[in-house]
Amino acid sequence: MAVTPTLTALQVMQDAPVIPVIVLTDPKHAVPMARALVAGGIRMLEITLRTPQALACMELIAREVPQAVVGAGTVRSASDAQAAAMAGARFAVSPGYTHAVGHACRELGLPLLPGVATGSEIMMAQEDGFTELKFFPAMQAGGAAMLKAWGGPFGDVRFCPTGGVTLHNAPDLLALPNVACVGGSWLVPFDALAQGDWARIETLAREASGLRR
């Protein structure tokens, strides 16, 4: 039986202008990084399942930083979704879309932002009831021009463009009526993590949270 989510995909997208796309390789970075992002006004944190340490990092943030809302990125299978939910994730983001991933997230009560890059993928996600989607890889797949073109046939869809998005091109994307937020890795640079420069991450988060949409 499907679990009713306590959070909707639209609420995830509308909480702040940017969802940070985070790659963590050391669990000791997880909590201070999350606290820095929250202090800068960013609560929705997409921890990507790209490293063996990702699930442990999610668990730490979910337990130690209650102000943050932990999400799982790079969800590619039902087992990914299940593991993320067990680790405390409250939403999921996928690089593409399959019926299996959509069904698993619905059963788990995890709001899902499915990744799409073509009209056919949008239609497949919509058939399964998803209208808040991740456009990925956004800049490589057409950027703002593609989103403007989709505004006609898919006027009922809201997008989170991710992939190649920066502080400099984010405002152009956020100005589009079908864009609810953007996803970006620039908020948590690898060198800032390695150096434990939490003040820099907080500053980047504050800049991102101040973007207009």
Distances 83 to 55, 59, 87, 105, 117 between C-alpha atoms, Å: 8, 11, 6, 11, 26
Tell me, yes or no, if 59 is annotated catalytic.
no
User: DSSP per residue over 68-114, as a string?
Assistant: SEEEEES--SHHHHHHHHHTT-SEEE-SS--HHHHHHHHHHT--EE-
Residues 46, 64, 107, 148: which is the catalytic one?
46
Task: Determine contact, residues 119/153, Cβ cutoff 8 Å.
Answer: yes
Residues 107, 121, 134, 202: which is the catalytic one?
134
Tell me, yes or no, if 46 is annotated catalytic.
yes
Q: Which residues form the catalytic set?
A: 46, 134
